[in-house]
Amino acid sequence: MAYNYLGLVNDLALRLNETQLTSSNFSTSSGVHSAFKEAVNSSIRHINQSHYFWPYNHNLETEILSAGVSRYSIPENAKTVDFNSFRVNRNTTLNVGESRQLTQITYSEYLTTYLDQEAETDTTKGGVPRNVVRTPDQQFIIVPMPNAAYEIDYEYYMVPVDLSAYDDIPTIPEQFRHVIIDGAMYYAYLFRDNVEMAGMSQNKFDNGIKQMRSLLINEYAYFRAF
């Protein structure tokens, strides 16, 4: 079966001896199949919420700054932003000879030292970005105020949206398809009030997530004798 929402729901239906869906009747399915759809999404949400830094949810964002504008919003789907990853990209036309990392300063320091830049209307008093500030309201501030359309890159981990269309594909790699299904089995058995089978499926699900963490997250240091 294809690795998409339809394929995952049909995997679950096959395990529980229910009829398979097709691309044509997927959106109008009801009853037990609606429960299967929710079970698949619940499993994926559970996996994604079990760790902040799954590598498959890592994104690189590019922001084109506007002259005279200091504050910018981070993506709505961002779970956590790496403020040490902010950098201004090389642009010789804008007098940026080489790409360089921005230094993070605290919001308190910004308010004390640089706040007036947001009231400045003369963009010629701005400059090439040197610092980035994390605000309390899901924004970031560039210091000094940009005086041109500099390009900023930064990295973040996202919260994926639920699957909806039959051909939607999870961000979770296909090699962990079985973990998604084990989790979906757990939620499907809860829907059926089968506590015993739900418990067994939960154990398999938890072990699958542990395996994912071992393969995708754990880092090992190797030492070599000279």
Structural domains counted in the chain: 2
Residue 187, in any domain of the structure:
yes
**Predicted TM-score of the model (pTM):** 0.84
Residue 225, in any domain of the structure:
no
Q: Label residue 48 left, alpha or beta by phi (over 0 means left) and psi (-120 to 50 means alpha).
A: alpha
Please classify residue 184 by burial: count the beta carbons closer than 10 Å to its beta carbon, then call 0-12 exposed, 13-18 middle and 19+ buried: buried
Range of the domain at 41: 5-53+172-216
pLDDT digit string, tens, across residues 37-80: 999 999 999 999 999 899 999 999 999 999 999 999 999 999 99
Q: Are residues 105 and 188 in the same domain?
A: no
Q: Which helix (H) or strand (E) holds 197?
A: helix 195-216
pLDDT digit string, tens, across residues 76-103: 999 999 999 999 999 999 989 999 999 9
pLDDT at residue number 218 = 74
Q: Are residues 185 and 152 in the same domain?
A: no
Residue 119, in any domain of the structure:
yes
Cα 20 from Cα 108, distance rounded (Å):
57
